[in-house]
Amino acid sequence: MPISPHIRWLRERVGHGLLLLPSAAVLPRDEDGRLLLVRVTDSDRWAAIGGAVEPGESPEDCARREAEEEAGVTVRLGGVLAVLGGPEYLIEYPNGDRTAYVSTVFDATVSGGEPRPDGDETSEVRWWPADELPLSDMSAFTRALLRDTGWRRPSDRHRTGPLLVVVTGLPGAGKSTVAAEVAELLSCPVLAHDWVMSGLRPYPEVQRTLDRMRPSGHRTVGWSMLGALARSQLRSSSSVVLDGVARQDELAALRELAAEEGVPMVTVLCECSDATAHRSRVVGRRRGIPGWYELDWEDVERARSNWDPALAADLRLDTAAAEDDVSGQLRSVLADRGR
**CATH C-level class of 5-148:** alpha beta
Query: Looking at 5-19, 155-169, 201-215, 268-282, which range is the least confident one?
Result: 5-19
Give tens-digit pLDDT for 182-216. 888 788 899 999 999 999 989 999 989 988 988 78
Domain ranges within the chain, ordered by starting residue: 5-148, 164-337
Contact call for residues 89 and 103 (beta carbons, < 8 A) = yes
Domain pair 5-148 / 164-337, same fold: no
Whether cis (ω within 30° of 0) applies to the bond prior to 215 is: yes
Give tens-digit pLDDT for 55-76. 999 999 999 999 999 999 999 9
Per-residue model confidence (pLDDT) at position 52: 92
Q: Which residues contact 240 (CB under 8 A, 6 or more apart)?
A: 162, 163, 164, 165, 188, 189, 190, 191, 229, 230, 233, 234
Per-residue model confidence (pLDDT) at position 31: 86
Kindly report the CA angle at 253 between 251 and 254, in degrees rounded to 5? 65
Homologous superfamily assigned to 164-337: P-loop containing nucleotide triphosphate hydrolases (3.40.50.300)
